[in-house]
Amino acid sequence: MTDLTVRDYHDFNCKVITQIQDHPVTIWIPPEAPLLKLNVDISFKSPSVICGIGFILRDSTGTFIMAGTGSTCAGSAQTAKYSGVLAAIQWCLEHGFGQSK
């Protein structure tokens, strides 16, 4: 009886779920030397949830310079994107990276 109970529990709780997602291929294009490139990504779920901000700064060879994360509140995904880009640029300026293209 114990084996049947354990098997039933396993079958009920351990179902394999396969979900295939189609993701477009993204290619990082470096900036011209001596410029740096700042890539920013935002996580937005809804206006009532704090948004996540992530960014990375690299040079023309793709070498890592710095990265950072943060959070903000926004009423829309578009506002979250603008807030995230602004926060990343401000962070770069505060750390001495001031030239932009």
Considering the domain boundaries, does residue 4 fall inside one?
Answer: no
By residue range, what is the domain housing residue 53? 24-94
The per-residue pLDDT string of the chain (101 residues; one tens digit each, 9 = 90 and over) reads: 555 566 665 565 555 556 666 777 788 999 999 999 999 999 988 888 899 999 999 999 999 999 999 998 899 999 999 999 999 999 999 999 885 55
Considering the domain boundaries, does residue 5 fall inside one?
Answer: no
Q: Per the structure, how many domains does the chain have?
A: 1
Structure pTM? 0.69
Scored b (16 or more CB within 10 A) or e, 65-101 reads eeeeeeebebeeeebbbebbeebbbebbeeeeeeeee
The gap from C-alpha 36 to its chain's centroid, in whole angstroms, comes to: 19
Considering the domain boundaries, does residue 58 fall inside one?
Answer: yes
Considering the domain boundaries, does residue 3 fall inside one?
Answer: no
pLDDT value of position 25? 78
Considering the domain boundaries, does residue 14 fall inside one?
Answer: no
Considering the domain boundaries, does residue 9 fall inside one?
Answer: no
Question: At residue 11, what is the residue type?
Answer: D
